[in-house]
Every structure is written in structure tokens, then in C-alpha cells.
Amino acid sequence: MANTITLLYFARLRETFGKASEMIALPADVATLEGVRATLAARGGAWAHELAAGRAFRAAVNQDIAGADTHVKDGDEVAFFPPVTGG
């Protein structure tokens, strides 16, 4: 059975993707945040550009800042957002 997660997009990503959130069923072999990023980037176009490896963005799992190796499981909320700069 596939794990289903909720994705949230903020700021530039929300505008670029044209949506604030979505629910997706993850492929069976995706268990980390890096896997989620790669799955979304594989959509191509703006997804591939904005979520390319090495591109500046942050992520959180269940409202905790997360790294590429953070595990993702059924029912998790994953948020992607640009890095915040201040001044």
C-alpha cells in the first residue's frame, strides 16, 4: 500500500506551481524527503527547475525543519519553501 502525504508549497514555489497544497501517493520505493523531492522534480518543467538538486529551498516534515535523509511516512505533512532572507 502506498504512503499518502500532504504537500504544502509556500511563497515563490506556491506561485510557480500554481497550488498551495496537494495530496500524493508516494511510489513504494520513496521513504525519504530526498525521494519526495526527486519524485516531484521528475514531473519536469517548473517542478524540475525549482526542486533541482542543489537549488535553494527548505523543507519541513510535520512542521519540523528536515534534511534530505528525513524519513517520510503515511499521513505526514511535507512543506517546501524558499530560504528566508532578512535585512
Domains present along the chain, CATH in parentheses: 6-77 (3.10.20.30)
pTM of the model: 0.91
Which tens digits make up the pLDDT trace of 11-46? 999 999 999 999 999 999 999 999 999 999 999 999
> In this structure, what C-alpha cell is assigned to residue 8?
504544502
Residue 86 confidence (pLDDT): 54
Query: Nearest to residue 33, comparing CAs of 58, 63, 64, 69?
Result: 69
Phi, psi of 46 (to 5 degrees): -60, -35
Q: What is the pLDDT of residues 53-77, one digit of tens each?
A: 888 889 999 999 999 999 999 999 9
